Amino acid sequence: MNENSSKVDFAEIMRNRTKKFVVDNIKFFRTLPKTEEAKIIGRQLLRSSSSVGANYSAACRARSQAEFHSKLSIVVEEADESVFWMEILVEAQVVKSSELNYLSDEANQILKIASASRKTVSSKNR
């Protein structure tokens, strides 16, 4: 397998992974208590997590290294924001941390991968 093929495979795996992250957050949102604060914070989480998937998908179609870097930067920001809203849900005792273990772990992994990818792109452009 050549380098280009492995990059395409990795991008496809990440595209599927970020899409699953969105779907899993939608499913989680449906389980939230029907309180006003749960709805508000839950919607914030839905917005940020769905942006992770949408912007990673857009990064895969980027027309330039600069556009790729820009879209990855948004993925990093939105994954970080998703982690933040998950922390708020737990700290405000809207949900138990055990309900968010998988999603929180996945958000942090996506954040690390996207950050590392962005750093690699940045170093290549120097």
The CATH number covering residue 37 comes to 1.20.1440.60
pTM: predicted TM-score of the whole model, two decimal places: 0.91
**How many folded domains does the chain comprise?**
1
d(CA 21, CA 10): 16
* pLDDT tens, N- to C-terminus, the chain (126 residues): 566 678 789 999 999 999 999 999 999 999 999 999 999 999 999 999 999 999 999 999 999 999 999 999 999 999 999 999 999 999 999 999 999 999 999 999 999 999 999 998 877 765
Could you count the other beta carbons within 10 Å of the beta carbon of residue 85?
21
Can you give the residue range of the structural domain that contains 68? 3-124
Q: Which of 74, 68, 82 is nearest to 22 (CA)?
A: 82
